[in-house]
Amino acid sequence: MNKKILLLSSFALLLLPAAAFAGEASEISSLPKALDLTHHIVGYLSIAVTALAYVAAMSEEVIELRKSKPMVLGSAVVWFAICIHYALQGEAKAAAIAFESNLLAYIELLLFILVSMTYINAMEERGIFDGLRIWLLNRQYSYRQLFWITGVLAFLLSTVISGLAVGLLMGTVAAAVGKDRKEFVGLACVNIVVATNAGGSLSPLGGISTLFVWQHKILHFHEFFSLALPCLVNFLLPAAVMHFFVSKETPAASTSTIWLRRGSKRVILLFIVTLAITVWSNVVLELPPAAGMMAGLGLLQFFSFYLTKTAHEVKNEFAHVYKYFGVEAPSDNRKQDFDIFRNVGNVEWDTLLFFYGAMMLIGALGFIGYLDAIAHFLFGQISPTVANIMIGLSSAFIDNGTLMFAVLSMHPDLAPGQWLLLTLTLGVGGSLLAIGSPPGVGLLGQIKEGYTFTFHMRWMPVILLGYFASIAVHFWINARYF
């Protein structure tokens, strides 16, 4: 299997980033009580466990083991080894503080993504996404038009919604409208992955790497939008090439009717309000983004309470749809509620737990002492531009959120333009391979026919061209930041 061969051959490439981009979320590495374990058995064990955990996670589709399992277990093994050694040296408190600071960084990320995914699940449960699919089919767009529509929607939605959710949503739409055209599904999915990663790179609300930089107050919220044109070039250049390989034919229209459940439009409005609160509270009150998102979750909880309590007042949850067609709604005695905790429970926990393991492993390697030497090489001995481009290319193999967390832990002294470059390369570099970003990994598991690892890799040269073109545009229009 080509995928298995590539995963095995990338083992050597994995070892360097796993150790090289090791870091932590706090200043604990600079404390006097931190021990240098880089040449100790604990350090060697940590590198080995981290490498094995990443290889197992990357081989998820081959060994059929969910990617979160090796990461969570690996992080537990590494941190217990560190804490046991520190306890034997009488410095157990220092290791405990390091663990807690890494845990705090993860919790902020967890709460942000948890609320975002909960809103996505709520909108899906209310029928919003299914309605979008039916609407697109009924408009009788050609395959080429659908190729561009799904790509543009993915680019725009990913600026405010997690890339995994956008990728799965648009991938479902592409698979539904092109169920008889495997080639179209494959091309549309590649385009969606590129568009999602590009859109998420210009907004701290859409990408994990940009969220990290925003949370650490390295760049202001408005500064991220200076990457709009480079990200647009990164999306449009590969899409323009793939455009000529998409069929000009038009798929059959859908015979289904759009059925939006009661409160669907208000859920969308609440999500917009939540994003506005998040940005305002961070810019004006300097609160972490998770604070605004949790406030929005509270609003959604009370709205679910309202829908449940007022369900008896309407005889059918789709009464507004019947009214639109001028038909009296039939009585429906089924329970009409909106279980917010069901939406919370249905979030992508495998991805969230994967990030827990990744962040804790990276934090552990940084606390051990591998941070300083690597930071000195990447941001001291070679050009920051070259370093950032290399790190971006590495994100084709390792999740960009993990890499950004590692770089932030190195505390490099970079100009704002270099931070923007790093945000750009990490965000769009994951598009080079299907396993390089959450949208690609999600679509590999969801799309059964048309989109495969090898099909995506076939278009890697075009995506790589867009990668370097976006870098060139960034240096051209954002020279004032350097």
- Residue (of 332, 301, 313, 354) closest to 60 by Cα position: 354
**Domain-located, residue 365:** yes
pLDDT, tens digit, 9 for 90 and up, residues 59-71: 776 787 887 899 9
At 223 the pLDDT is 83
pLDDT band at 4 (very low <50, low <70, confident <90, very high): very low
At 457 the pLDDT is 86
**Domain-located, residue 169:** no
pLDDT, tens digit, 9 for 90 and up, residues 233-266: 999 999 999 999 998 888 776 666 677 888 888 8
Averaged pLDDT of the chain: 79
**Domain-located, residue 161:** no
Q: What is the pTM of this model?
A: 0.68
**Domain-located, residue 299:** no
**Distance between CA atoms of 132 and 356, rounded to whole angstroms?**
33
pLDDT band at 475 (very low <50, low <70, confident <90, very high): very high
pLDDT, tens digit, 9 for 90 and up, residues 336-386: 567 778 878 777 788 788 878 888 988 888 788 775 566 667 776 788 888
- Residue (of 46, 23, 252) closest to 134 by Cα position: 252
**Domain-located, residue 39:** yes
Lookup: tokens for 338 = 């909106």
pLDDT band at 136 (very low <50, low <70, confident <90, very high): confident
- Residue (of 467, 115, 137) closest to 299 by Cα position: 115
Q: Does the pLDDT value for residue 25 go beyond 70? A: no
State the SS3 of 216-237.
Answer: CCCCCHHHHHHHHHHHHHHHHH
Q: What are phi and psi of 360, to 5 degrees?
A: -70, -35
CA-to-CA dists, residue 236 to 31, 193, 397, 469, angstroms: 47, 12, 23, 11
pLDDT, tens digit, 9 for 90 and up, residues 380-409: 678 888 888 988 888 887 667 667 777 777
197-212: burial string, b at 16+ Cβ within 10 Å, e else: bbbbbbbbbbbbbbbb
At 28 the pLDDT is 36
pLDDT band at 469 (very low <50, low <70, confident <90, very high): very high
At 10 the pLDDT is 35
pLDDT, tens digit, 9 for 90 and up, residues 199-232: 988 887 777 778 778 777 888 878 888 899 999 9
Percent of the chain with pLDDT over 70: 82
DSSP label at residue 430: T
DSSP string, 126-142: TTHHHHHHHHHHHTT--
Residue 76: which domain range?
Answer: 2-109+349-446
pLDDT band at 463 (very low <50, low <70, confident <90, very high): very high
Q: What is the number of structural domains in the chain?
A: 1
At 13 the pLDDT is 31
Q: What are phi and psi of 422, to 5 degrees?
A: -65, -45
Least confident range from 7-21, 303-317, 379-393, 407-421: namely: 7-21
**Distance between CA atoms of 52 and 49, rounded to whole angstroms?**
5
CB 384 within 8 A of CB 418: yes
**Domain-located, residue 368:** yes
**Domain-located, residue 431:** yes
pLDDT, tens digit, 9 for 90 and up, residues 406-439: 777 777 778 888 889 988 998 899 899 877 787 8
**Domain-located, residue 367:** yes
DSSP string, 279-301: HHHHHTS---HHHHHHHHHHHHH
